[in-house]
Amino acid sequence: MKRNINVNISGLLFNIDEDAYEVLQAYLERLRMHFGNDENAAEIIKDIENRIAEMMQEKLSDSKIVITIEDVQQIIAAMGEPGEFDDEAEYAGTAGKRNFSEAFANNNLKRKLYRDPDDKVVGGVCSGLGYYFGISAALVRLIFILLTLSGMSVLVYIILWIIIPEAQTTAQKLEMRGEPVNIDNIEKSIREELHDLGNKFNDFKDKHFKKKRGGRSVFEEVIDTLVSVTVAVFKVFMGVIGAVLAVGAGLLIISLIMLLLTGSGLIIDSITGINFAAFFHFPDFLFMSSYGSELTVIGILMVVFIPLIALVYNGIRIISGQKGPSGASTTFWILWITGILILVLPATELAGDMRREASVSAEVEMSRPANDTVYVKIDKEYFDRINISDEYYEDESFVFYSDAENFFGTPRLRVYTTDSTGDVVLQVKKLSRASSYRKAHKLAENISFNYRLNNDTLVMAPLYKVSSEDKWRMQRVKLYLKVPEGVFVKYVNIDPDNPVLSGDYDNLALFIDNECEAE
Amino acid sequence: MRKGVLELCILAIMKDEEAYASDIIRQMKEAQLIVVEGTLYPLLTRLKNEGLLDYRWEESKSGPPRKYYRITSDGRKTLDELRESWEELNKSVLKITKTLNK
């Protein structure tokens, strides 16, 4: 026997079992709680009650006049629990939002970088940047114009033009405009992301572990939070990496371009001490063919710059959250490999031209000096007779200077002590490489190097000279000074321990191997 | 991402004729867009209050009076906008998901 109750739902009278009534009552209470702070709560609950009344009506027939607990359970199952409404409609907290675009803009508080086709002077880059940073497009344009005076922004503009996509659809335009980036919104967006993630995690759990709603353990909460925090940290981390990539590679590109254009790089020059302008000029002295040096320069520029541009591109992509066109990285790779292939031809040509080595030797003798001392002196006035440019390339074994028709290298001096008691002997060996022995021999002969050996002094030019037309074929000059036992070598204007000439040519090194063993 | 999808479908269902909540629920259940009926009522109320839908009462022989909803001219405009957004979104999603088949 069961007690039953008369209830009035939406103006209809029902006979309902007491236990069924309690379940129904509790359900309606849950609904009221759920919609409690919604301005439309009363109306929504009324609609739901109407529907419940209708469904109850359908359960009844001539032979069935009482609503049982099974009926109520079926009705509630069809209507769903308030928590399920939210999952389906994502209703809570978004009342009033009904538009994809609005939903988009709200979900992604971080704005995306697009070019604005509606407000553009050239490519819409400035107005896009303006939206992104929340400043007026006119201000961005003004900054760009000011930067143009320094010469850089045109290139930057073109790069940005290429990598930033145009906002074509309404949704993209809304994403572009977004909301102003301020601390509140940043915090809000992080919260929303965490919340989103929490929801996703819950969905995942519900799907795979069939957990009951509302029965979340402390452990689950902790896991949730940990996952959220990890993801948030990871996103921030990726953002930082993106920024470092983009800014770092961007600066490198700018300084590389500046040093190529002006010959005085900002960063690299001060780090390496190498003047790259001379290096840039260097291919002219390498190739017999006219295309050789051009291909080399193009190839090297491609091999160096394309990875940097790719870094900037990917950095901006990470920051902006854009996926970017799918072919972009393939394109970078293809261009880079093309750069390497371009270098193959001049490299092959050069290897051929360096195949054979030949040398020319001359020997000068001088009788043992009276006071048993040989003086070695650098002819510093040599610099007055030539007109070498400021451009030079230098490493441990090679110094490269050039003027209009020639380039210069530093001779290497070796001093030997011999067992003989006879004369002082100076051997001057000029070496060169070329495609054939005969040509190499000719090039070695062409090397111009001035020296004198008289009385007790070796006077030598600080540089040897090679005509640009001969090209650089590893021409070298080696001096072997062989002194008898008991004879000293004294350096007049060079310090053999620190063989650097002072004066205008501070970086000029003279390579001296002192007191070597005899050959 | 699902925000707006249900709204779009509700408006689309009512594009040509007025509809009673149960009709809408039936169609959306068939399309497997919603599982529980309760989802719909808050949405309908919201759309109505935003002026996208209008309704009239109709007496029912078998139960309480029913609300019959119909779309307003504002609603039609919103429907067009939503549909456009949806098509863009759909295109974007397809662009990405079609790579999954490769």
Would you call A169 and B99 a contact, using CB atoms and an 8 Å cutoff?
no
Q: Which strands form A392-395's sheet, in the order they lie side by side?
A: A392-395, A398-402, A406-409, A464-467
What are the structure tokens assigned to A205, written together?
């759990």
CA atoms within 13 A on the CB side of A434: 19
Residues of A in contact with B6 (CB under 8 A): 88-89
What's residue A92's pLDDT? 37
What is the share, in percent, of chain A residues with pLDDT greater than 90?
6
Whether the CB-CB separation of A473 and A480 falls below 8 Å is answered with no
Contacts of A95 in chain B (CB under 8 A): 46
What sign does the dihedral A299-A300-A305-A306 (CA atoms) show? positive
Positions in chain A whose pLDDT score sits under 70: 1, 86-111, 146-153, 169-175, 178-217, 259-282, 321-326, 387-404, 494-519
Q: What is the pLDDT of residue A181?
A: 42
End-to-end CA distance of chain A: 124
Which pair of tokens denotes residue A317?
């992509």
Specify the pLDDT at position A507: 37
- Residues 6 or more apart whose Cβ sits within 8 Å of residue A89: B2, B6, B39, B42, B43
Inter-chain contact B45–A11, Cβ cutoff 8 Å?
no
**Predicted model pTM:** 0.41
Rounded Cα distance between A437 and A445, Å, is: 12
- Tokens at residue A73, please? 């359970």
Instruction: Give the phi and the psi of residue B42 in degrees, each rounded to 5.
Output: -60, -40
ipTM: 0.85
Instruction: Please name the member of A80, A94, A97 whose beta carbon is closest to the beta carbon of B38.
Output: A80
pLDDT tens-digit map of A94-146: 333 344 444 433 334 456 788 887 777 777 888 888 877 777 777 777 777 76
* Cα A184 to Cα A296: distance, rounded to the nearest angstrom: 53
Whether the CA torsion A282, A283, A284, A288 is positive or negative: it is: positive
What's residue A385's pLDDT?
74
User: How far is CA A517 from each of CA A187, A481, A510, rounded to the nearest angstrom?
Assistant: 74, 12, 20
Could you report how far apart the first and last alpha carbons of chain B are, in Å?
25
For B24-58, write each residue's pLDDT tens digit. 888 888 887 777 888 888 888 888 888 888 888 88
What are A342-370's pLDDT values in tens digits? 888 888 888 888 899 999 999 988 888 88
* Res A182: pLDDT: 44
Determine the pLDDT at residue A358: 93
Q: What distance in Å separates residue A39's CA from the closest CA in chain B?
A: 10
Measured in angstroms, the CA of A333 and the nearest CA of chain B are apart by: 21
Residue B2, chain A, CB below 8 Å: the answer is yes
Alpha helices in A263-289 (DSSP H): 268-272, 276-281
Q: A466 and A409 in contact (C-beta within 8 Å)?
A: yes
